[in-house]
Structure 1
Amino acid sequence: MIWRLAADAVLVLHLLFIAFAVLGGLLILWRRGFVWLHVPALIWATLVMLNGWLCPLTPLEIELRQWAGEAGYRGSFIAHYLLPLIYPPGLTRTVQIALGVGVVLINLAIYGWLIRRRKATGS
């Protein structure tokens, strides 16, 4: 039971990291210091996607699921609703590269907007 909960926690952490990498630039509106956390996360996520690397959270989660005696992702709420977001069906290398480029473009737009906003307000 503990290994399954640990695997589910890693899965949720993985999803939160992805959300932070994609949209974390918006947190800078709240606290400018988030830029020092977000930029490295953005760079890492982009490198993983563009190079086809395996995020270290993925094998960790799989290992924990195997320790829990699970062969795959079935049965739990988290596995049913969150796994398709993190591991979408039909994820090809081309789609992976497009997602990496998309993450960069989204964040360029966010940072561009933040910079223009800051210059307009003079802060």
Structure 2
Amino acid sequence: MVYRLIGDTAMVAHLLFLAYITLGGFLAWRWPHTIWPHIACALYGLGVTLVGWRCPLTTLETWGRQQAGQAGIPPTGFIDHYLTGVIYPPQHLLTIQLAVAATIAASWAGHLIHHRKRKHHTAPNRA
């Protein structure tokens, strides 16, 4: 029971982490200091995607599920197991990856624009 809970918790944390990678840059519009953790997470996600780094949440979920007598996540990883072919068709993986990258880029661009406007409006008048 405890091991299954570990696996399930890791799965939920993984989904939340992926949501944060995709949408977390928009938090920086309201809280500008959150841009740095988001950049770090997005770069880590890029490393997992392009370089093939192993995600510790995948390792934890697999361990928890195996200890509970279940099958772990296949070597192809979390996204392939839970999302590809379930949420979107496998042939659209590149499209989804590009859409996520575009969303992140838009959130960062919006952060820069919003932050500059905020800085401009709060600067003291030097007349």
Q: TM-score, normalization: structure 1?
A: 0.73
SS at match of 1:40: helix
Alpha-carbon distance in 1 for matches of 2:70, 2:24: 33
Post-superposition Cα deviations, 1:47-75, rounded to whole Å, max 9, x if no partner, equal 211234442211221111010111368xx
Note the C-alpha offset of 1:103: 2.7
The equivalent of 1:114 in structure 2 is 111
The equivalent of 1:36 in structure 2 is 36
Alpha-carbon distance in 2 for matches of 1:71, 1:99: 27
Matching residue's letter, 2:30: W
How much identity, in percent, do the aligned residues show? 30
Matching residue's letter, 1:113: G
Matched length: 112
RMSD of the alignment, in Å?
A: 2.8
Unaligned stretches of 5+ residues in structure 2 = 74-78, 123-127
- Structure 1 residues 72 and 119, CA gap change in structure 2 (3 angstroms): closer
**1:88 and 2:74 aligned:** no
- Structure 1 residues 85 and 70, CA gap change in structure 2 (3 angstroms): closer
Matching residue's letter, 2:84: P
Alpha-carbon distance in 2 for matches of 1:43, 1:84: 20
